[in-house]
Structure 1
Amino acid sequence: MTTQSNSLTSHTDGKVLVVERTFNATRELVFKAFSESERLEKWWGPQGWETKNLQFEFKTNGVWHYCMTCVDKEQGDFYGQKSCGKGIYHEIVEPEKIVYTDLFVDDQGNAVQDMPELLITMNFVEQEGKTMVITRTEFASEEALQQVVGMGVVEGVSSQYERLDALLEEQLA
């Protein structure tokens, strides 16, 4: 399955979801959007959601614990809902690569039962002043991958990358 939206492309390969997106900014600036807590909070999560980093240690074995809250009344049943995640960083090569495990958690940081654990590898590739972000998300099984795809993860990533685009444009202005 391959989908494309706003220059975002995605496809699955077994139990791996690959998402690629090019940003009109330098690799260093795009990397900072993922590696600095204040910047990350400004764009992480889909449109209409606000993110708060409860813990952010951008280093090997560091923890990133965040919660997103839907603040858009137009999103109906989602309005007021909270969704939390926790990342554990395994490898950071500035400004080229970030590898981390991502878990669905509650606001206390406890893993949510029956939700998959994800191993995410992000590569930041400089292309003539622009940056392609290539994200490979590995799941324990194809079923776990399909569960998260069915929840709208590709659409969510597309939406949050639109927010990142706006932040990058603002910083470049």
Structure 2
Amino acid sequence: MSKATKSIRTQVEGRDLIMERIFDAPRELVFKAYSEADHLARWWGPQGWETTIQRFDFTPGGEWRYCMKCVDKNQEDFFGHESCGLAVYQEITSPEKIVYTDSFTDQEGNKLDGMPEMLISMEFVDHEGKTKLVTRTQFATEEVLKQIMDMGVVEGTSSQFEKLDAHLKQIQS
């Protein structure tokens, strides 16, 4: 199964969700947007959401704790909603690859029961002067993958990539 939205190409392989997008920026800069807390805080999360970084240790074994809050009143049911996460970095190869586990947490960083942990592998590929970002997210089962897709992960990621694209344009000008 494969589909494309405005800016993101997605494919499901078993229990893996693969998302690709090309950014009009050098690979080193796109990698930097993921590897530095001050950059992440400016664009992480869907449109209308703001992100607070609680901890950021970009090293293998290091943790990134964050919370996102919907600040857009037009998002009605989501307005004021908070969503927190914990990433634990497994592998970092600058500027080519980041591998980490990602979990939903409460505001104190405790993993939420009943919510999946995901293994995310991100590859930053030189592509004709631009960067192709290939994200492979592995879930425990195909059913969990379907649950997360039904929650809108592709739409949320696409919205987040639009914010990243705007951030990359801003810091290049």
1:35 maps to which residue? 35
Give, in whole Å, the separation in 1 of the partners of 2:163 and 2:23: 11
Which SS does the other structure have where 1:167 is aligned?
helix
Matches of residues 126-145 of structure 1 in structure 2 within 5 Å? 126-145=126-145
| 8 Å Cα contact 2:7-2:158 kept in structure 1 | no
Give, in whole Å, the separation in 2 of the partners of 1:129 and 1:42: 24
Deviations 1:117-163 (A, max 9, x none): 00000000011210000000000000110111010000000000000
Give, in whole Å, the separation in 2 of the partners of 1:129 and 1:146: 35
- Ranges of 4+ aligned residues in structure 1 off by more than 6 Å: none
Letter paired with 1:50: E
> When the two structures are superposed, what TM-score results if normalisation uses the length of structure 2?
0.99
Letter paired with 1:172: Q
Corresponding residue pairs, total: 173
Letter paired with 1:151: M
Give, in whole Å, the separation in 1 of the partners of 2:76 and 2:139: 30
Are positions 1:49 and 2:46 aligned together? no
Unaligned segments of structure 2, at least 5 residues? none
> When the two structures are superposed, what TM-score results if normalisation uses the length of structure 1?
0.99
1:10 maps to which residue? 10
Give, in whole Å, the separation in 2 of the partners of 1:104 and 1:76: 22
Q: CA deviation at 1:7?
A: 2.9
Are positions 1:99 and 2:70 aligned together? no
Letter paired with 1:144: V
Farther off after superposition, 1-10 or 13-22: 1-10
Q: Percent of aligned positions with the same letter in both sequences?
A: 55
2:25 maps to which residue? 25
Unaligned segments of structure 1, at least 5 residues? none
Q: CA deviation at 1:35?
A: 0.3
Give, in whole Å, the separation in 2 of the partners of 1:48 and 1:135: 23
Which SS does the other structure have where 1:112 is aligned?
coil
Deviations 1:69-102 (A, max 9, x none): 0000000010000000000000000000000000
Matches of residues 84-163 of structure 1 in structure 2 within 5 Å? 84-163=84-163
Are positions 1:74 and 2:96 aligned together? no
Give, in whole Å, the separation in 2 of the partners of 1:57 and 1:117: 19
Which SS does the other structure have where 1:156 is aligned?
helix
Aligned CA RMSD, in angstroms, stands at 0.6
